[in-house]
Structure 1
């Protein structure tokens, strides 16, 4: 049974990683005639698409990146509901987005894909982190600040609500990667040069 589960875990994580690796923002940007890697901040995520390709493309990127995290975790829940499979599958999908095999292991910052992962794993923890995100973005208009703060809150929320070792470990890894991927934004926030979000 253990060997069978290990095979299922490996196959599910590989599939989730490949799905997560699909560069949604890059593909949508190219459909609009731009290579988003050379526009704005150079990031392939929803915020940069919103700024460089327009609101509609930005929203579609957000939805697409979110679904890359949500769909494989829901599938894992369905096939193995009483195991930690879903948590590891979620991490694989997230890593696919951040370290895409199709982009030579480069990618986005992972916020939208992490959102999809945790919408499936812990919707209440997402609600807490989303509240933190919205308060900060509405007050100061910095998406990066809201994203970093929300990532920092998630492990604590998951610990209080769930306490499972796999869930907590996965959440901690995801949060750490999101924060590290925002290191340039953090520096700009400290320097006072970070761009504010304009609706």
Structure 2
């Protein structure tokens, strides 16, 4: 004798089976991994190598960011590096927000960490300024504008790339607090602290009066 099984019962059973087979943490973990890998793409290193500008790690400061790309004399490559590093931070936020409810901030943070500590380069990456601007801009664009203005103002005001980057990083959580986005301030504060740590050698040179300004061969 056949037992009557409704379509609703089958759908419920399928959903329960799917929940058992797919843990709730799997998608967020996947998003964080993808964001880290996206952030870890060393665009500056790839662009300079593919265009014959040399190994960026053996030029100037050895950093893989746009400032060091500029030391190759290729302004177009430096601009492209800046844009791509910015876009990967913004893309991670958008991907995280689309796939996981409230996942944008943490996805952006993982892209930033990927840029600073890429597995492909033995965790010796960039300093994260452009990527952090992309993250902040995607999270809340008015704060991204503040970030950019502070960056450019401090950069051209002092002629020190490091000062511009650090000032911009610090401005992000402060701007978000004043703009009422307290929910985003903690994660951007964490990124700012990492950014400052990545600039620790620059801070030491600034204290000694040895930090080169824009256009110098080493920094």
TM-score normalised by length of structure 2: 0.82
**CA shift at 1:45, angstroms?**
0.2
**CA shift at 1:5, angstroms?**
4.9
Residue 149 of structure 2 is aligned with which of 110, 118, 131?
A: 131
Q: Counterparts of 1:157-196 in structure 2 under 5 Å?
A: 157-161=175-179, 162-164=181-183, 167-196=184-213
Paired residues, what number? 193
Asked whether the equivalents of residues 39 and 113 of structure 2 are also in contact (C-alpha less than 8 Å), the reply is: yes
Residue 43 of structure 2 is aligned with which of 2, 7, 24?
A: 24
TM-score normalised by length of structure 1: 0.90
Residue 150 of structure 1 is aligned with which of 163, 168, 171?
A: 168
Listed one character per residue, the Cα deviations across residues 73-123 of structure 1 (whole Å, up to 9, x for unaligned) are: 11222334xx32000000111111111011111200011111111110011
Structure 1 residue runs of 5 or longer lacking an equivalent are: none
Listed one character per residue, the Cα deviations across residues 110-149 of structure 1 (whole Å, up to 9, x for unaligned) are: 1111111111001111212222222222222111101111
**In the alignment, which residue of structure 2 is the partner of 1:92?**
110
Give 1 or 2 for the bigger CA radius of gyration. 2
**In the alignment, which residue of structure 2 is the partner of 1:14?**
33
Q: Tell me, what secondary structure is at the counterpart of 2:71?
A: helix
Structure having the higher helix fraction is 1
CA distance in 1, matches of 2:73, 2:89: 23
CA distance in 1, matches of 2:153, 2:44: 26
CA distance in 2, matches of 1:64, 1:128: 20
Q: Go from structure 1 to structure 2 and tell me whether the alpha carbon gap of 1:7 and 1:160 turns closer, same or farther (over 3 Å shift).
A: farther
Asked whether the equivalents of residues 129 and 153 of structure 1 are also in contact (C-alpha less than 8 Å), the reply is: yes
Listed one character per residue, the Cα deviations across residues 18-75 of structure 1 (whole Å, up to 9, x for unaligned) are: 1111111111111133011011011000000011241011011111111111112112
Listed one character per residue, the Cα deviations across residues 159-199 of structure 1 (whole Å, up to 9, x for unaligned) are: 232011xx22211111001111111111222222222224x
Structure 2 residue runs of 5 or longer lacking an equivalent are: 1-18
**CA shift at 1:4, angstroms?**
5.5
Q: Counterparts of 1:22-61 in structure 2 under 5 Å?
A: 22-33=41-52, 34-61=54-81
